[in-house]
Structure 1
């Protein structure tokens, strides 16, 4: 079986490790693996490389992705010339499917977050066999406990929250640490708990400025002259 694999969306820790693991697993079972470059753009441009043991050797310790990635190459609304323009996106799915047929690809593996997997699901609905590997630091995908990339992002965010404590206390300031996460508060709430944040604002729970100000004032009455908002 010929299998296509790509990485879409933002980069995160673990991408090369997944590419390596999947490639080795498939090769041991007699399949061929082709890595398409820069996400779905590679499928549209027919830009790919065959992945062998040699190609994936040693990449487990490297950050990023050897295949490149893109968070703007939507095949259903393609905005990159020469096929379209920022003003007039073009549906390039027919070209994508034709390229896969030309290369006798029988399965597509997509490593990505919600945007990548939503596009992959649409291709699945068109009849293309798809395997989705959940990748996002936001940890906002269903049917998995933790998406890879999340743990490292949480560690970095926790360290950031922890490090601003002395500055906030020394200057008696209210400091705000803004985390990644889009519409999910996983990184914010867990880094705040682990790093000692005083106030946590997440998309899942509504909040208003008055409550935040009142809480900060209450802390000051108790002798807490600084606050950290995550």
Structure 2
């Protein structure tokens, strides 16, 4: 376990990994506190803090006398109180699909903005989200250069944050900046637009150490659908 983070946090990450990978399926019970104490060779207080984090993040629910039940296995469970935009669209009856995913490694120079995060190389991912068959969002993601390009057969099911997680780059927080811009012509073409401006979003994601693990740019064709945010109170 990593000595740079609290022990209970490291234990929480191990248990969360087991939940995400199906070792503890939804509806199943986690081992008892005593069993977890013996497994990790730590105190009851440490285990309780780890379980508390999992409960706060929405992975488990704890009931006195009944144990701790797994209720979610989502990689991006409660990074914020907001619901993902794709989930909102699906609930509204829209069909959201991902197409035209492209990967390439790019070489960075010291004068490039991304150099401060990734050094000499990063992985660039470009893809388009379609709303009922119409191009709606164009994404460009920049990830650490040590991440391998996924198998071509897996592109249709490609999940960015799961892929980061599988390559030991878990997202702990992110910052979003929204703006209006005139995007490059290739992005206008991808969105089937003749001219701008369009709504844009820049996201910078960090791991638990504050290291940048994702920089992404999204452009939205709001002529098809407005961008929406829903929060649970």
Normalised by the length of structure 1, the TM-score is 0.28
| More helix by percentage | 1
